[in-house]
Amino acid sequence: MSGHIWSRALITGGAGFVGSHLCARLLDAGTDVVCLDNLATGSRANVADLEPRPGFRFVRGDATDPEVLAGLPGRFDLVLHFACPASPVDYLRLPLETLDVGSTGTRLALERARADDARFVLASTSEVYGDPLEHPQREDYWGNVNPVGPRSVYDESKRFAEALVTAHRGAHGTDAAIVRIFNTYGPRMRTGDGRAVPTFVTQALDGMPLTVAGDGGQTRSLCYVDDTVDGVLALAASAETGPVNIGGDDEITMLELARRIIALTGSASRVRHVGRPVDDPARRRPDTRLARERLGWTPQIGWADGLERTVGWFSRSAAA
């Protein structure tokens, strides 16, 4: 966080996976936090341990409601816009809501940041690159996105949100930045959200076959949630506008990820190959040179340590 402590932060989607970790980190650093979430995909359980703490407030509300954003009392000096369904299961179930929060939600959050003279950070995604034709993906790559495909509600929501942030900064001088988050994993992911790590870990712990899409040769680059939070807050504390990629350097095939999780859990599970989703990206790895050079950020937690922590959390949650 570069030693920067904000006095008061608003986190939309703060009861979600990454949002809840941001809430905890900022609260630990002495920042008062307002967590806004409509609980469409987030969970109040994710912030339950924060609610008794002074300086934390949970508000159940929708980031697309002008009265909610404008009606939050006090002034913020940091606004982190993380409200959005982020897994295919969720955004395919909530397609219009996903588009709304990327458009209306982003606009309202920007307006609140401008009114308060706050630093604003948009949580964008590696999905803006689509099924990339460039590898690894640099921030100046425009992407290969199907605008009418099944994933388009998420991809185009985030691409529009990026355009909106850029336009708002140009028109009003809003202190706004864009972070493009790659595949993040760790504690508090939902078992049924459809993403690879929680799916594989849950299947392995239950002794079920690990369902690998296609031949399993498609790759992702995993980043443990603590490292992602470090990157987001480093960008927030900087003067950079972005977009800046934040993601892991360890590119791994889905088949190898499944095998690693089976080994880590000591499971007797085997791999079962299933159909591959339409427009599923073949390769995904960020070029993180900008983050290294401008923010001094590099991931610190390797896959073995990160997966071990994640498996431990899922094991404890299942036993609870």
* Residues known to be catalytic: 154
- Count Cβ atoms below 10 Å from residue 33 Cβ, excluding itself: 27
- Contact call for residues 106 and 164 (beta carbons, < 8 A): yes
**How far apart are alpha carbons 184 and 203 in whole angstroms?**
19
Strand spans (E) along the chain: 8-12, 32-37, 56-60, 78-81, 119-125, 176-181, 184-185, 210-213, 219-224, 244-246, 250-253, 271-274
Q: For residue 113, which amino acid is it? A: A
Q: Which two tokens stand for residue 217?
A: 């040769």
**3-state class (DSSP) for residue 52:** coil
- Contact call for residues 64 and 86 (beta carbons, < 8 A): no
Question: What backbone torsions phi and psi does residue 313 show, to the nearest 5 degrees?
Answer: -65, -45
Beta-carbon contacts of residue 188 (< 8 Å; ≥ 6 apart): 17, 20, 21, 46, 225, 313
Closest CA relative to residue 222, chosen from 302, 151, 278: 302
**How far apart are alpha carbons 121 and 43 in whole angstroms?**
22
Beta-carbon contacts of residue 44 (< 8 Å; ≥ 6 apart): 15, 37, 58
**How far apart are alpha carbons 16 and 100 in whole angstroms?**
17
- Count Cβ atoms below 10 Å from residue 49 Cβ, excluding itself: 11
Region for 173 from its dihedrals, namely left if φ exceeds 0, alpha if ψ lies in -120 to 50, beta otherwise: left
